[in-house]
């Protein structure tokens, strides 16, 4: 009899973690591998943010913080959310956690009953379905298509809703597609949700400030404030401020839900690092030029990656609106044969072939609920992106 709980058996290891293990093994063999799997900015955390953390240490801010988060940081979060969405949240309805992932997890853990359904549009961030499963819920995967730029439509949403639906998870810009929605598209989705008052919305806005369109990112609650009483906003400082290792995410929502999440957090991790919270406070309230600079660099890399991937035979690509991923459709290459005579049956076969043949690591789209695709991160140097895409092109030209 295994010691491992049944609910843990429902979930799987993150594919990026698994890919990194293979990359490490090949590098140990002396191979040069261009790793385009990384889901974090390759920039250093801005100096003014690091300085704020050092000041906090010097001032002795090293004791247990409140489980729900330091008041000053929660006030700054509330101010930021008001400026972005127009919704005013008291600090009691804001929570700080150890990364956006914990906010998402705690929101599901605090609300799901056994068998509750959670609508997850695909392609999706890999952790959504597993977090639903481990908390007793049922992920309802709604497949979108490249023809519609991987957007959830009102018709697809309406069809997916049942009496058991508890949540819709809505990630914009999306990991892995970088898709943004227009105000009109958000309003159309909101109209469906208005007709189904039992459905809550979890908006994962982690990449919202990494937007390449030249226009402000529209937020669902900005378009449909009437949904605020059943929406959990999730964001953090990881992506926009290059602070992945600081582990600070935050959420805001209705009082009852945030209170339940706070109780859960108090009995699991307790409060996020006090020093990291001091750094996050500076990130949100200090100079913002760094975010604009990061977004501009990502746009340049995006343009180059898309230009080069468009030259790869068998790939189809929709250009991302934000985040830092390209998500080409590789179905045109499935069924082909490698120079060694191996058949490429699926995206996982293709990813393994690219890794071994070209020394380029990407992640197969099956992990994101989209077989026949792969994710390439351009959170890497321009040189690595150029060499990596050239390696992919050369390897794909060898298929027949």
pLDDT tens track for 314-367: 999 999 999 999 999 999 999 999 999 999 999 999 999 999 999 999 999 999
Architecture of the structural domain at 6-44+290-397 = Alpha-Beta Complex (3.90)
Burial class (CB in 10 A: 0-12, 13-18, 19+), 323: buried
- Give yes or no for residue 17 having a pLDDT over 80: no
Does position 239 have pLDDT exceeding 90, yes or no?
yes
Long-range residue pairs from 61-67, CB within 8 A, at least 24 positions apart, any chain:
61/274, 61/275, 61/278, 62/274, 62/275, 63/274, 64/270, 64/271, 64/274, 65/271, 65/272, 65/273, 65/274, 65/277, 66/271, 67/262, 67/265, 67/266, 67/270, 67/271
pLDDT in tens, 108-126: 999 999 999 999 999 999 9
Residue 319 burial (10 A CB sphere; 0-12, 13-18, 19+): middle
CATH of region 61-285: 3.40.640.10
Q: How far apart are CA 169 and CA 357, in angstroms?
A: 37
d(CA 225, CA 213): 24
User: Looking at residues 24-32, what average pLDDT do you find?
Assistant: 87
What pLDDT, in 10s, does the model give residues 170-220? 999 999 999 999 999 999 999 999 999 999 999 999 999 999 999 999 999
pLDDT computed for residue 271 by the predictor: 97
What are the residue ranges spanned by the domains of the chain? 6-44+290-397, 61-285
**6-44+290-397 and 61-285 in the same fold:** no
């Amino acid at each position: 009899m295994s010691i491992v709980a049944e609910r843990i058996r429902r979930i799987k290891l993150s594919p990026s973690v698994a890919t990194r293990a293979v990359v490490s093994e090949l590098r140990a063999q002396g191979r040069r591998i261009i790793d385009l799997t990384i889901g974090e900015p390759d920039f250093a955390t801005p100096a003014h943010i690091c300085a704020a953390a050092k000041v906090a240490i010097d001032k002795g801010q090293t004791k247990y913080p409140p489980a729900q988060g330091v008041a000053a940081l929660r006030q700054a979060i509330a101010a930021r959310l008001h400026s972005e969405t127009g919704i005013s949240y008291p600090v009691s309805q804001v929570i700080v956690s150890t990364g956006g992932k914990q906010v998402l997890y705690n929101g599901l853990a605090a609300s799901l009953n056994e068998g509750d359904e959670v609508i997850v549009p695909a392609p999706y961030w890999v952790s959504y379905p597993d977090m639903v499963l481990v908390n007793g819920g049922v992920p309802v995967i709604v497949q979108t298509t490249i023809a519609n730029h991987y957007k959830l439509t009102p018709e697809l949403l309406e069809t997916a809703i049942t009496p058991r639906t508890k949540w819709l998870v809505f990630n914009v810009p999306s990991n892995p597609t970088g898709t943004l929605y227009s105000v009109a598209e958000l309003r159309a989705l909101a109209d469906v949700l208005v007709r189904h008052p039992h459905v809550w919305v979890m908006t994962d806005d982690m990449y919202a400030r990494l937007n390449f369109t030249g226009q402000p990112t529209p937020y669902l609650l900005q378009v449909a404030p009437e949904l605020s009483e059943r929406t959990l906003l999730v964001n953090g400082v990881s992506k926009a401020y290059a602070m992945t290792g600081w582990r600070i995410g935050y959420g805001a929502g209705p009082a009852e839900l945030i209170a339940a999440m706070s109780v859960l957090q108090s009995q699991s991790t307790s409060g996020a690092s006090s020093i990291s919270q001091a750094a996050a406070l500076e990130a949100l309230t200090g100079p913002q030029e760094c975010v604009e600079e990061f977004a501009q660099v990502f746009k340049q890399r995006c343009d180059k990656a898309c230009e080069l991937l468009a030259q790869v035979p068998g790939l189809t690509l929709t250009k991302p609106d934000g985040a830092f991923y390209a998500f080409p459709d590789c179905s045109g290459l499935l069924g082909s044969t490698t120079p060694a005579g191996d058949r490429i049956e699926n995206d996982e076969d293709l990813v393994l072939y690219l890794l071994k043949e070209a020394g380029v690591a990407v992640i197969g789209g099956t992990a994101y609920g989209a077989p026949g695709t792969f994710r390439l991160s351009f959170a890497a140097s321009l040189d690595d992106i150029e060499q990596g895409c050239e390696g992919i092109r050369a390897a794909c030209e060898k298929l027949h």
